[in-house]
Structure 1
Amino acid sequence: VTMLTLMTPISTTRWHYVLFILLLVVTTCVNGGLQDRKSLGNIVNSLEQITGRHLIIPSTGDLRRNWDTSLDRCYNLGGQPFVPLNEEQWTKMAQISGHFKDNNKNTRLWLPIKGRDKKGRVLWIDGSIVEQSLIKEEEEAVLHNATDLCGILLNEGLIALVSCRNYAYPMI
């Protein structure tokens, strides 16, 4: 298991830091309560108390799947898709794309985005609205078939909307 730890200031007036941990493993989603805490050591327990969420991202050898199979794998591992709750969490999540780009890998990752609401707004899997400014591109075919709309994280930290069935990526 390779761990990548990021430090982010909470306050501009005080230099307190929250550690965000990104685990580069063969698993592919967020797990709010890692089941085998002892294997990751005490640092994970203390991080859990601070952040409450661990973002697990795929290793370069992770199998690529369509959106539905990738999502099923996440649930089968005891996790749930990582939906950013605020702009800061999105920024951290988007930085993952930089990791792949820095390592000369052009890897796209599925995001837990699927479908639109009645007003045509793109939705996270939990029903919250995806900020339109994050969406970089949409495939022509997807525009005409809202039931087959899924998101991928691009290397630039932006979202592309593509067919859920026509591509195979790991889920973030």
Structure 2
Amino acid sequence: MIRMICCAGLCASLPYLADNSLAATVFRCEDSQGRLTYTHLGCPDDNSQSLQRAYNPTPGTGKATPMARDSPKALKSDTQPREVVVVGRKLDGCGDRLTSSERRQAIIRQQIRGGMTRGDVESAFGKPDKITRVDGDTRYHYADTKGNRRQVTLDEAGCVKEKGKR
């Protein structure tokens, strides 16, 4: 009989236990400068302390929050489209005279164009056979197995000089 009464009492208290499991009591600590801290461990001695009940329901319980609705004014756009501005762009250090696609095509075709970097030249032809330096310019010398020779002139910044501007 006692066992039955205990079981009935325990079953009757379960809804209250379930409701309290979603809430917690925490300490609300406020320091002399007005900053708030919430903690389970208590407040430092120089803070004012009060108990605060925090209710954190699990997701999916209760009524759903409706999404914001677009106003008819927001749906109509009478303004002209704006120009896209690129904020973070990598500069090549050679005046950005070539686009990335022009640069790639030149490297693939093993062509040298003014505005390419030292790295672009080495990507197209590899390490030079010989390097000479004259009046601040650096010259990369290449020779292939057929006896063809090629020379690429780089300025002080390591950029390919255009043929007419040596």
TM-score (normalizing by structure 2): 0.18
TM-score (normalizing by structure 1): 0.17
Larger radius of gyration: 2
Higher RCO, 1 or 2 (CA under 8 Å, sep at least 6)?
1
